[in-house]
Structure 1
Amino acid sequence: METVDLMDKLTSLQFERGIQKEELPWLFLQSRSRGLMIEACAHAAFFCRLLWALRKMDGSTSISMLPSEEEKEDPYKKPSKRDLKVGIIGGGRLGKHLALVLLHQASLPPQNLHISTRRPETLIDLQKMGIQCFYHNCFLVDWANLVFLCCLPSQLPHICLEISPRLEKFCFVYSLVTAVPLPRLKQLLCHTTILRPQYQCAETYIDIWGSNEGIQSALQDPDIIRATSPYSTDGGITLNIKWLEAVFYAALNTCTLREIPYQQALEVLNDLCLSVHLQTCEDKTNCPRFIVTDFVNQAFAKTLHPSNAFPWFDLITVQLKETPFSQHLGKSVTLQEHLTVLYCASFGISLSQETEQPKEEEKEVMQEAPGPQS
């Protein structure tokens, strides 16, 4: 489902037409808001793809980050016990865009996606695609193993009070309510398996985010995908890299849930995440590989028996404190480059493709944001 701008050719009715001259410098907030939504949806899609692959593996390390064509054929097929079941709480603008991105960019089968919103009647188009939409937050949490919070900050305390008693330890909560920090989320939900991406906006940036096409269409643009990659500063929006650390510890938690021995879990991550190489990697045997001390300290690693799984990691602690993976990721530029290649490849974008030189008019879109950093 594509969003069509009915006022695209009607300049007298467009938003910018009614703005006073002294207010024009603030138009950058419009593109910044769109950029933040694109980044949030892209990172959520990447996380879903990774969890999907880890939950569906059948003992082989040869796994894919995408559902098979057979799994996507029947929109009314009941998800299996091992499937990733995704719930979205909030059916507003962000919730609807996220649902479409998960369907089209993360290739999530519609039967694996539920939305709980106070106004399910406004989501008829999504329901026609096979997504169940209703207003029952507790039912959604009972069913899902990954829950996205896309509600307003003012609604969050009530929602958390409602769903907290129903949250299983193994259910991932992914908060896109940016106004509520992690310690507060932990307090409200009495839960530690929470991810919350944090974004920083630069004062000076080039607007690459577009304006008319839908979010899912924007995520087919190679330049936009590169701009959303975890280490990119293009477009003036940067992601706190602690999110990437939490993604990998969440991946290990998924392996622990499957009772996979830690050595096999590392093999799975290496095969899934480090099998895509840079074009400059002539000798792939020298490319980075995950080892146990990348994720736990040496003292704990020595206590692990080959049959042991990794411990269950507190994702809030991972995002708030230094971890072994923080140190490893910060020191290894090669690993950072490989993870960037993985991220782009998951959207079908190759970094080996030559990037076109920016046009002169694009260079002139450099903007100075008059307000403080957000």
Structure 2
Amino acid sequence: MQRSYILKPSKAKSLKYVQAISSSPLFSLLVVLVLSTLACSWIDLSDPAKAKRVVIRINLPTLTPTASSPPTNNLPTTIPPPATPSYRPTIAAATAVVLAPLPTPTFTPAATATSNQESAPPIPVTAPTNPVPTSSPPTSPPITTPTTTSAPNPSFAPTPTVTPIPETPGWAFAKIRTYNDEYEGGLILYGELVNDTGAPQEIAYITGAFYDPQGQLIADSDSTTEYWPLEIVPPGGRTPFELAVNGIQAAANFKLWANSTTTSQSPRQDFNFEGVEQWSAAEDYCLTGQLQNPGGELHDFLVIAAVLYDSQGNVVNFGETYESALEGGETLDFEICIEPPNQNAARHELYAWGQ
């Protein structure tokens, strides 16, 4: 007769977990030990009746050997144990080492040549000594500090005693008018230079000296720049000139002089002007007309100058034109325009020189 036993739900659940784990052969032994411990805790072994009521069956997995192919190589069935190495290092017997003492170097003097003659007594050697100067070292001369003395301010006389440019006697200056140079600064003089030397003169310089109201020199030939249109002035002839003085705006007094040399050449002045007209172009004072040469041919130069004068007869300004040659009896048309200053011009004069 077969008996059936009903386990409690908690115990059945535990067995379910055990069966799940028991599927792994690796943990079978651990499961058996655990279940055995649990079974002991649930059953009261003191009661033999109760001990017979619980039967636990656990099917352990059976290990079945699997046939494998025989080995291809004839290997030994048993593996011999590893051989113990029989190498033993051979230690040579220690040999005593005896250090020999190092040889002590000995100094052998060089061989001295000997002769049968008697050796001369040794000559004493004395170290050279520097001669002690008997005279004392030269002493440097005392340094003197130069003293500067201020030179007194020179006093200038109203009339210079020495002129840088020598003056040629016989020249006269006339109809002079002065201006302040509004373009370049300084003082400008216009006038006429008259040849009263009695001979043709080739002009070299026109200059002067300028003074303030106290008679002190304020400008000289180093500050002047001159210009004139005619190179050689015949005896009794005249030429306009311009003299610019740098560094001053006015002068209370001045003295002018000219330097020239006498020459044998004298230009002609016998020319006739015809059909002269005056007109203005912007700020320029212009003159047009014709010049007729009544004499021989001019082969060196021809200068035509127009000079403007104010109501007092002083020179306001001037202008000129040049020609290189003109046939005898030929008539030449000309035009001259004079730039400012020309506002106070009251009349004009035409001059011509040729050679």
More helix per residue: 1 or 2? 1
Tell me: higher relative CO, structure 1 or 2? Use CA pairs within 8 A at least 6 residues apart. 1
Q: Which bin holds the TM-score, normalised by the shorter protein?
A: under 0.3
> Counting strand residues as a fraction of each chain, which structure ranks higher?
2
TM-score, structure 2 as length reference: 0.18
Q: TM-score, normalised by structure 1?
A: 0.17
